Structure 1
C-alpha cells in the first residue's frame, strides 16, 4: 500500500512539475485569467458539494501540504481551498512525522542493541547473585573481558523486570537450605502401628544434597540410650563412607526422645545441631517430605505384622529409594545411581523392559531385560 502511494505521489509531482514549466511561457495576464477561472470552478464545486467534505487521497494531501505550507498561514487564509488552512498544516505535520518515522526505522536506534549472549549473561549473574547491583555486575563483566557500559547493565536489568539489589537480598529459609545442602543432615521419627497393636518408631536420617536416606533403626521404646547408640552408628557410617567431613549441621525437631548427650557427641564430630521452631515442620521440610513418601509408598500399602517384618520392609524400601527411585531435585537420578545416557533412536526399536517387584508387588522397578 505504501509503495502504491509513493508511485502515485511521484506521478503527480512529475505532472505538476511539467505544468510549472508550461507556466513559464505564460504572461502575468494569462496567469491571472486562469487563476480567476480556477477559483470560479472551485466555487461551483463547493456549492455543489455543500456540507460534504471532499475525499482526498494520501498522495493528494502530501502534494498540497508540500506545496502550500511554504506560503504561510496568512497567505493560506486568502487562498480559496477545499479545506481550511489548519487542515493543510496538519497534513504537513503528519507528513513530517511519517518521514521521521521511516528514517528511524531505516537507521535503527541510536546505539546498537546489546548482544543476546551478553544480555543472558547479565541476567544470569543477577539471578545467581541476588546481592549484586548493576555496578557489581558491571565490574564482574569487566573481569571477564566483556566491554559493556554500566548504564547498559542497568537498562538490561530494568527491561527484564529485575528489582534492584536491596530488594533481592532477602534470604529465605529454602534458599539457605539449598546453599548449604552439602553440609546438612536431617533426622526425624516416624510412627506406625503393627497388626499386633504395638506402636513402632522408625528413626531415619537424610542428606539434603544427595537425598540419600539412612534407616537408623526401629524400636517400640525409643529410650535415650537407644537413640544415643543410633547416633553413634550414624557417625561411624558417615566416617566409613568419607562423608562425615562435609557434614556441618544436623536439623531435628524438639522431640523429647532426643537426649542432650547426642548434641555433645555430634559436636565432638564437628556437627552443629539446629533445632526447628515450635510447630514449624517446614524448617525440616526435606525429611518431612520423605516421611510422606514413605507412608504413601510403603506404610499405607503394607500390613506390618511385627517389628521383624517392619525392619525387612524398611531395608527393601531403603535400597529401592537410594538405588532406583528417581528424584526431580537430582534431575531424574537416584541418590546412589547416576542418570543413564539416553537411548538413541535406533536403540528404541529393540527396547525390552522387565518389571521387578519388591515386597510382594508393593514396589515396582523397571529394568532392561537381560
Structure 2
C-alpha cells in the first residue's frame, strides 16, 4: 500500500510540468530516462543488466510523460515490460489481502511447554481436555492452538483409545495392594527355617511377621491375624492381597483378609513374576544380609530379619520414593534443609557392620 501511494504521488508531481510546459516536459522526461539508464549501467559494469525496484518505479513513472511511440527509442526495455511494471504498481492499490489477514499472536514458549507437560503426564487426554485444564488454570488459549502445539510435537491430539499398560495399572492400584510370600533361611547347622513376609506396594513397607522351622496353616493364619491387628484402620485403604498357591496358606488365611474386605488374588502356577515385588525384596534380603550372616537358629533369624526390616523401612533409600525410606519421608525432607557445612556424617553399624547407616550428629 505504501509503494502504491508513493507511485501515485510521484505521477501527480510529474504531471504538473507536463501540463505547464507540454513539449518541453516530454524532452526533459527523455533526458531523465537516459540519465538514469547511465546510472544503472555504471552500477553494473559487468554481467547482465538488472533493474532494482527503484529503477522500475522511476521508469514506470516517467513513461507517463513520454509518448508511447517514443518508448522504443527512449527506454532500455520493451513497452510490454513498462506496462507490466506499471500494472504491478497500480494493482497494489486494490490489494486488500493484508488488511483482511488477522495475525494470531505467537504462543509463549512456557505455554507450549505446559501443554506438552500435560499431554505427557496424561496420555489419555485429548487436546480439548488439555484445553479445559488450561482454562481452569486461568490461561487464555484456544483449543485449536493446543491441537497445533501437540501436532507439531508429534503427539496425537486425540486421546489414546487403548487401555493402560500393566505398569500404569499397577501404579494406579499400588496403594491398595499388599503381597505375601514365604522364603527360606538356611541355618549354619543345616536346618531350614521359613519366614513369612508381607510387602505394601504403595508405601514399600516390609513386614516380616515370623520365622519357624515348621510352618503350618494354623501358624500362618495366626500371623495373618497379627498383621491385621497391627494395621488397624490402615486396612481400610487396602483392596487386594497377592499371594502364590503355596499350601501353607489355606482358606482360613484368605478368610482373615476377606473379613477386612480384601480380595485375595492367587498367582498362577510356576509364575513368580506375578508376585514380582515380593520376589525382589526377598532377593534384596538375601544379597544384603543372609548371604553375609551365619544364622544359628530361629531366635537369631528373627533378630537379624527384624533388624533388616527396621533398616529397610526407616533408612534404606527407595527409588520409587525419590531415594527416601517409607517411614522417614517427612523427617528426611526436613533434614535436607539443614546446614551441614563443616559436619561429617556419623556411621551406625547394623548387624556388626553388614549394613552401614549414615546420619549427621544432632
Fold shared per TM-score above 0.5: yes
Q: Structure 1 residue 359: deviation in Å?
A: 0.9
1:229 is matched with 222
Residues 356 and 365 in structure 1, CA contact (< 8 A), matched pair in contact too: yes
The reply on whether 1:257 has 2:262 as its aligned counterpart is no
Partners of 2:285 and 2:325 lie apart in 1 by 16
Q: Tell me the alpha carbon deviations over residues 242-296 of structure 1, each in whole angstroms, 9 at most, x when there is no partner.
A: 3112111111223343323322221111111123345544443332332232222
From 199, 202, 214, the counterpart of 1:209: 202
**What is the Cα deviation at residue 318 of structure 1?**
0.6
Is contact 1:189–1:202 with CA below 8 Å preserved after alignment? yes
Q: Distance in 2 between matches of 1:124 and 1:250?
A: 34
Q: Which residue of 1 aligns with 2:312?
A: 321
Quickly say closer, same or farther: Cα 1:153–1:312, change in 2 above 3 A: same
From 343, 349, 353, the counterpart of 1:361:
353
Instruction: State the TM-score, normalizing by the size of structure 1.
Output: 0.69
Out of 284, 287, 302, the residue aligned to residue 296 of structure 1 is: 287
Give the equivalent residue in structure 1 for 2:187.
194
Structure 1 partner of 2:151:
158
Deviates more, 1:318-327 or 1:111-120: 111-120
Structural mapping, 1:1-370, within 5 Å: 61-64=52-55, 66-67=57-58, 80=76, 110-114=103-107, 119=112, 122-142=115-135, 146-167=139-160, 169-239=162-232, 242-338=233-329, 339-342=332-335, 347-370=339-362
After superposition, the C-alpha distances for 1:26-76 in whole angstroms (9 at most, x for unaligned) are 775687699889999999xx9x96xx657x7xxx644445556898xxx9x
Contact 2:125 2:160 in 1 (8 A): no
Q: Distance in 2 between matches of 1:165 and 1:32?
A: 68
TM-score, normalising length: structure 2: 0.70
- State the distance in 2 between where 1:261 and 1:154 align: 56
Change (3 A) 1:220 1:148: same
Q: Secondary structure at the match of 1:314?
A: helix
- What is the RMSD computed on CA atoms of the aligned residues? 4.5
CA distance in 2, matches of 1:41, 1:135: 62
Deviations along 1:82-138, one digit per CA (max 9) or x if unpaired, are xxx8xx99xx9xxx9xxxxxx9xxxx9821234556555544544454433333344
For residues 246 and 355 of structure 1, what CA distance do their matches in structure 2 show? 36
SS of 1:185's equivalent in the other structure is strand
Q: Contact between 1:227 and 1:257, CA under 8 Å: does it hold in 2?
A: yes
Number of matched residues?
Answer: 325
CA distance in 1, matches of 2:327, 2:285: 18
Work out whether residues 242 and 264 of structure 2, in 8 Å CA contact, stay in contact via their aligned partners in 1: yes
Match of 1:5 in 2: none
